[in-house]
Chain A
Amino acid sequence: MGLREALASGKVVVTAEVAPPKGTDLTAFRESLPYLRGRVDAVNVTDFQSAVVRASSLTLCRLLLEEGLDPVLQITGRDRNRIAIQGELLGAAILGIRNVLAITGDHTEIGDHPGAKPVFDLDAVTILQAAQRLNQGRDLAGNPLRGATDFTLGATVTPCYEPLELQVLKMESKIAAGATFFQTQAVYEVEAMRRFREATAHLGDVKVLVGIIPLKSAGMARFMNKNVPGIRVPEELLERMAAAPDPVAAGVKAAGELMAALLAEGLCDGFHLMTLGREDLVPEILAAAGLA
């Protein structure tokens, strides 16, 4: 069962995320696979995340497919114009990739080639539009394709955004452009999801997978609070992390508790686990959430 079937089944959907290597060494990628296989419904592959040069998302998506995992191709508008984006998507379809997550992308200036030309010919909404057209057998300019794509389209949303109404308006645009599932920025409070679900109650049958980044230390929580847009780790959790003798285990436990609480209140359709290189933690997180 892949992501599409999992989303349709009504079960709790779990996706994970891997980053392509900076270089050609696939050791870390290969070592992460046993922790994911059979445990998650799909695996996102980031697209030059944080505007840093790495191997391409498409390449690792294909490798995941060969390893029996259902990949989600992340694609941003930062590095490619509409011609390259559509071409990349057609290539992905040819290679058997069925899921696409459209993202605007971090600005080039925050990455490791800050002088690079930022493209942003398309944004998350218009990437979805392009992909939806490809699904219908045409390109963005209306030209017919010989062979259409068949992507399940997703997008991102930030529940802790201020003003939330603006975030919800953008979410509506993404749905209008074809998004059927959303993976959220990392969430650490049930209350944030309550507010978010209330603000999005009118949006109908769209699947929301709550982003989970397990904390590894109190320092990491403080760093994210200070530097990562849309992430808010509450003081109480910060103190709990600071007091924990084994902070990684405490982070896993907190993530599991949050996931169980969100499910108990019916606040989401599943989870997107962003373990940032610690994919070995995925089985423990799922166990802590009662999903193993």
Chain B
Amino acid sequence: MIIAKQKELAEILQMLEGKQRIFLTGCSQCATTCKFGGEEEVARMAAALKDAGKEITGTVILDPSCISLKVKKDLRRAPGLQEAEAILVLACGDGCQTVAGNTRLPVYPANDTLFIGEVERVGRFKEVCRACGSCELGWTGGICPVTRCAKGLLNGPCGGSRDGKCEVDPELDCAWILIYEALKERGELDKLRQVRLPRDHRKARRLAIN
């Protein structure tokens, strides 16, 4: 799931300065499940913008906001879009760019996109994947050190953990202690005896797959 959170209304209004007639889009997938761009949030945003003196020309929940051809088709049919001066997107950064690529209107993000994460329970998310292009989970007991170690270390823990918690955030478990415990339980501690080479950062920069 892509996790995002809504920007402060003040920042949104600042972006929309000079634009009076606004069209809103949401997304049926992550944004709906994680409540940063489903029906409910789009309706709430429409009301807040009206309170701030804006006119809402229409809304649509794109299904989803990240498939280009579908977004193009759905936007073409969307009532109220023709009358709008700007689109405010309640989706992730990808959803926002897909909308922007399929309209001539100026497009603004209502959200800050945070990470690829796991839904632990309603409203509680945990970052688990950095989409680094080179998955290490095969030797780490299914726990990603690139994402869950604050330093992204591949050769074991730094000296900064206290009582199993990270030096950056005492709420956060030290990923390396979790990895150690998982591998120990499986009798696979030998996997930590191999020195891991520095990562190839080109793999994280693959911008398109044909």
Give chain A's interface residues, CB within 8 Å of chain B.
77-78, 82, 104-107, 109-110, 118, 120-126, 129, 140, 156, 158, 161-163, 165-167, 169-170, 172-173, 176-177, 185, 229-230
Contacts and interface: CB of A to CB of B under 8 A. Distances in A.
B153 A120 contact: yes
Contacts, number: 89
Nearest to A107: B168
12 contacts: A78-B151, A82-B198, A105-B151, A107-B151, A123-B153, A123-B154, A125-B156, A163-B177, A163-B180, A166-B156, A166-B180, A167-B157
Interface stretch (B119-127, B134-142, B159-167): B159-167
Contact of A110 (B168, B192, B198, B199): B168
Contacts of B152: 120
A135 B160 CA distance: 29
Nearest to B179: A166
Nearest to A125: B155
Interface residues of B, number: 30
Contacts of B160: 106-107, 229
B150 interface: yes
B195 interface: yes
Contacts of A121: 198-199, 201
A166 B167 contact: no
Nearest to A109: B168
B180 A229 contact: no
B176 interface: yes
B43 interface: no
A40 to B, nearest CB: 23
Contacts of A106: 160, 167
B195 A104 contact: no
Contact of A166 (B154, B157, B168, B195): B157
A107 B159 CA distance: 11
B159 A173 contact: no
A105 B157 CA distance: 11
Nearest to B194: A173
B197 interface: yes
A124 B151 CA distance: 12
A161 B198 CA distance: 25
A124 B155 contact: yes
B159 A185 contact: yes
B189 interface: yes
B158 interface: yes
Contacts of A104: 151, 153, 158-159
Given A170-B156, A173-B195, A177-B195, 18 more contacts: A82-B198, A104-B159, A107-B150, A107-B168, A109-B168, A110-B167, A118-B151, A123-B155, A125-B195, A126-B195, A126-B197, A129-B195, A162-B163, A163-B177, A165-B180, A166-B156, A173-B155, A173-B156
